[in-house]
Structure 1
Amino acid sequence: MTPEEIKRYFEATPPPQEMDWKPWAKITDSQLFLKSCYLTIDNYKGSLDMCPAWWHLKEVYMLVRRGSQGAKSENQTE
C-alpha cells in the first residue's frame, strides 16, 4: 500500500468527520488530519517507513477499513 493508494481510497470513501483514533487521541477533523499527513509525507526527506505521518496514515486507514467492514457485516446479518 502506498500513500497515493490510501489517498485514492479516502477520496472514494471519505472517513467520518470525527473519530476516536486511540484511547488518548481523538481526530476532530479527519480531512484536516489527512491533509496534514499527505503534506508531511510529501515533504519528508528520509525513508517512507521512518516517516511518523506515514505510520499515522496507515493506522487510521486500518481503523476506517475495520469500521466499514464491521458495518457491512452487521447489515448482512439483519
Structure 2
Amino acid sequence: MLPRQRRNDPTSDRRVAAELTRLKRKVAKTEAEQRRLRNTIRGLARETDVTLGCSCPHCEQSYMLVRDGQMYCPSCSNRRTV
C-alpha cells in the first residue's frame, strides 16, 4: 500500500520555509548567547580562582564549582570533597 501523495500547497510551503528561517535565527541567537555566557563564566572563574567541575550529580541544574578542595553546586548547595 503506497502513501497518498499530497498536492504541493505553495502557502503551506512558504509557511514552513518562514518557520524554518525563524527557528534557524532563534538557534543562532541562542548559541551566541550561550557563547557569551560561557566566556563570562570562564572569566569569573579565573578572577575568583574557582574551577568549573562536572554537572551536579544531585540536581543536574548547574555545574559544580571547585575551590579549596571542595566541589559546590550553586543551585542545590550539594557539597563534596575533592
* TM-score of the aligned structures, taking structure 2 as reference length: 0.36
- Higher share in strand: 2
* TM-score of the aligned structures, taking structure 1 as reference length: 0.38
Query: Which has the higher relative contact order, 1 or 2, with Cα contacts under 8 A spaced 6 or more apart?
Result: 1
- Higher share in helix: 1
